[in-house]
Amino acid sequence: MSTTTQTHLMTVEEFMNIDDEPNRHELIKGELLTMTPPKPLHGRIVTNLAVILGLYVKANRLGVVYSESGYHLERGPDTVLGPDMSFLSAQRVNQSDEQYYDGPPDLAIEVLSPGDRKSYIERKLVLYLEAGARSVWLVNPRRRTVEVVSSPGDRRTFHETDELTDDTVPGFRVKVSEIFE
């Protein structure tokens, strides 16, 4: 006789009621993932991006920039990811800010931490793109690069001396070095 152990897959409703400060969580295919609070360098880079990208998007009325907001990407089992930063175009900003956004951001930005496993980052990247995100930025503080991924086969790496551009945010340009100042 054999027995199997079944793991409880968490729903988005259960996920929304987690109270575990200061940890951050994500839900991937019903499995809860817990992350420790980020280090100061991570926070500084996210703040730099929020100011640079946020001011540009607001001034040009392109949509909304969010920091650490959840996106409900899949159902049954549920997936909810919270990129470090995200952008929703004005055409897609159409629901309450009180719930996780139903669907992907147009742009998801992940600032890589030293402990991030490559397989985990790639898994999240695929989840964003398969759900319909137009692009994902992988910001690497150690290498001082930004990799812009529009599909698994379309990956461009911008270095510190390059100017970052991405059609997902029309007309946006910034010298990569400004992100890391």
Q: Is residue 117 part of a domain?
A: yes
| pLDDT by 10-residue block (mean), the chain, 181 residues | 54 75 76 79 93 97 92 89 94 75 94 86 93 96 96 93 96 96 89
Q: What is the pLDDT of residue 12?
A: 79
Q: What is the pLDDT of residue 68?
A: 86
Q: What is the pLDDT of residue 4?
A: 42
Q: Considering the entire predicted model, what is its pTM? A: 0.86
Q: Is residue 34 part of a domain?
A: no
What CATH number did the domain enclosing 56 receive? 3.90.1570.10
Q: Strands of 101-102's sheet, edge to edge?
A: 31-35, 24-28, 79-81, 71-74, 101-102
Closest by CA to 67, choosing from 97, 92, 41, 96, is 97
Amino acid identity for residue 52 in this structure? I
Q: Is residue 63 part of a domain?
A: yes
Q: Is residue 12 part of a domain?
A: no
DSSP state of 65: E
% helix, strand, coil for the chain, step of 5: 25, 30, 45
Domain that holds residue 158: 39-179
Q: What is the pLDDT of residue 11?
A: 77
Q: Is residue 30 part of a domain?
A: no
Q: Is residue 11 part of a domain?
A: no
Look at the chain and report how many structural domains it folds into: 1
Q: Is residue 111 part of a domain?
A: yes
